[in-house]
A and B are shown apart, each in its own frame.
Chain A
């Protein structure tokens, strides 16, 4: 208790320099824990992009490719699949529900997804949450569109806004389906998934805007007006992919095999959970690099502390001599320096954690807007506590070096005050 008291007083006496050290170490702690929290939450957010879906089916390619375009709306399908195949498979006895997905068009950089009303009923993300509307409702009419929260926010759309869908991807698409504008009828609540950046229309709508198109261009002289299209048969001939929910999980592999061996068309069925894991695994080196960098920042902070303590040692030889004369043993001197360094690190960690939570509290929305990572404020997990323990241990270790020096000094100097 005496030594802790002394260490504390000595710390207060040197607070000018030690405070800078404290700030530097606490910033490194913010970085270390911040990187880990973002990593952990990004991973959680990532793997909860799609849930409750047992199989995703698309044209035969790779499972990551299929996952990317069907769920993350990144990249394009190598091939479409026939509507008839979808109908046949979705009527399999083991299938509980199915969601057809038709991709390929866009609106000002946001993907347009053609699907059925089953999407709003059965699509689940996160902890099996379903999509909910912040305004309006699901599409009903042919030219109705439901937009994700991000789309609404960035483009400033409200219910009733008019939306023209462009053919293909990209902002500068020259070809627009501007003869058939859509009307916003629903805005979804934020999900933290790619759904936020998606415009959702019916499959029939996708069919309708392409009815007078062929091979990616509008056929000249064969314009079909929106009024005419309403009376046409708009059953799609092909879609991009579809999601399946099964009655029993046990039949997943059976159905997967069946789909993979589907004779009328080369199809592929993937288990989204497994594909998500494989995809995340591809980023693991980024994770590791970030961790290594933040760990190195901590190390440099602790080394700074070590250097500071070492350089203060000389001026402290007098204090050591005084302490020895009043009965302190060399081991006390050693302990004193370790305690001081420990004090700095413990305070740094406390400050760092405090700053981190303040950042999450006040800058959480900013981070979500900028990086798309939703930060949920939660208590530190075991690994993060272990990281903290490691930082504190490193701090104690940093005190050991000057502590040992001081120990040697105090053995050699005794009570003679050396200047």
Chain B
């Protein structure tokens, strides 16, 4: 039987002024699945991702991730859970400018003992894991490691953040428009790499974008639709 990765029930999220923003009556995702969530800008994509990451809490309704009910967890537990089980890739400028490329990739393993242990188990050490993943993502040259991350191209930066999200094999990877700053060719290349790496590590991928031309890469799709009350629903 397949393990459930994410379950959302009767979720409603309001911003402070009680105008409904996002409602999700039912959403379910199994481990290892890759879902494409499409939504125009302002439809609450980031809100959804922040809720999945346990940073924002819904008004009503429940989120269960890997059989953990967020509503029963304290903020510090959520922080730890996120660090251990979820990897993130953002739109752009994902990297800390003051850390080296390698340090950026290793960062999650510094905050999560679980991911550190898994990286060591898989690659021998966190640094070796980072180098191996960078190599798989086509960033093998050691000369890059010493470079200022700001000097990397956007495509390279996104690949570095993908390596960072994957290192330590978190069960869930959340990508928030990671390709929006890339041109078409790089975009397809990046997406193919990301999907194959998730396959390799068995991670569940939640990919959010407004760009419907990416849909065909995914077996599962969902869409944030405008709802009658002025908000959006999934």
Contacts and interface: CB of A to CB of B under 8 A. Distances in A.
A, B bound: yes
Given A2-B111, A9-B103, A323 B46 contact: no
Given A415-B88, A417-B90, A327 B111 contact: yes
A247 interface: no
B53 interface: yes
A322 B88 CA distance: 9
B222 interface: no
B110 A416 contact: no
A324 interface: yes
Contacts, number: 66
A319 interface: yes
A326 B83 contact: yes
A417 B88 contact: no
Nearest to B107: A326
Interface string B104-119: 0001101110000000
A329 interface: yes
Contact of A415 (B50, B84, B98, B112): B50
A322 B94 contact: yes
Interface string B93-135: 1111111000100011011100000000000000000000000
B196 interface: no
Contacts of A417: 90-91, 93
Contact of B49 (A2, A10, A327, A415): A415
A9 B100 CA distance: 9
A318 interface: yes
A326 B97 contact: no
Interface in A1-21: 2, 6, 9-10, 12-14
Interface residues of B, number: 30
Contact of B79 (A10, A12, A327, A416): A327
A414 interface: yes
Interface string B45-57: 0100110010110
B34 interface: no
B210 interface: no
A13 B90 contact: no
A327 B112 contact: yes
Contacts of A6: 99
A277 interface: no
A322 B95 contact: yes
Given A10-B98, A319-B96, A415-B88, A329 B79 contact: yes
A2 B82 CA distance: 18
B206 to A, nearest CB: 13
A358 interface: no
Interface in A405-419: 414-417
B88 A323 contact: no
B98 A328 contact: no
B111 A13 contact: no
A121 interface: no
A325 B111 contact: no
Nearest to A410: B55
Contacts of B143: none
Contacts of A416: 46, 50
B159 interface: no
A322 B96 contact: yes
Interface in B151-202: 164
B55 A324 contact: yes
A414 B94 CA distance: 14
Interface in A32-78: none
A329 B83 CA distance: 9
**Count class of interface residues, chain A:** 20 to 34
Nearest to B148: A13
A313 to B, nearest CB: 15
A14 B96 CA distance: 13
A332 B76 CA distance: 11
Nearest to B115: A327
B98 A326 contact: no
A101 B86 CA distance: 90
A167 B163 CA distance: 92
A302 to B, nearest CB: 23
A414 B82 CA distance: 12
Nearest to B50: A414
Contact of A9 (B50, B82, B91, B99): B99
Interface string A283-325: 0000000000000000000000000000000000011001111
Contacts of A327: 79-80, 82-84, 108, 111-112
Interface in A388-419: 414-417
A327 B91 CA distance: 18
B111 A328 contact: yes
A75 to B, nearest CB: 64
B97 A13 contact: yes
A322 B83 CA distance: 12
Contacts of B103: 9
Interface in B24-55: 46, 49-50, 53, 55
A-B pairs with the 8 shortest C-beta distances?
A327-B83, A13-B98, A414-B55, A327-B111, A325-B88, A329-B79, A414-B50, A326-B108
Given A2-B111, A322-B90, A324-B79, 15 more contacts: A9-B103, A319-B96, A325-B53, A325-B90, A326-B111, A326-B164, A327-B80, A327-B83, A329-B79, A332-B111, A415-B50, A415-B53, A415-B55, A415-B88, A417-B93
18 contacts: A6-B99, A13-B97, A322-B90, A323-B96, A323-B107, A324-B79, A325-B82, A326-B107, A327-B79, A327-B83, A327-B111, A328-B83, A329-B75, A329-B80, A331-B76, A414-B50, A414-B53, A416-B46
Interface of B: 46, 49-50, 53, 55-56, 75-76, 79-80, 82-84, 88, 90-91, 93-99, 103, 107-108, 110-112, 164
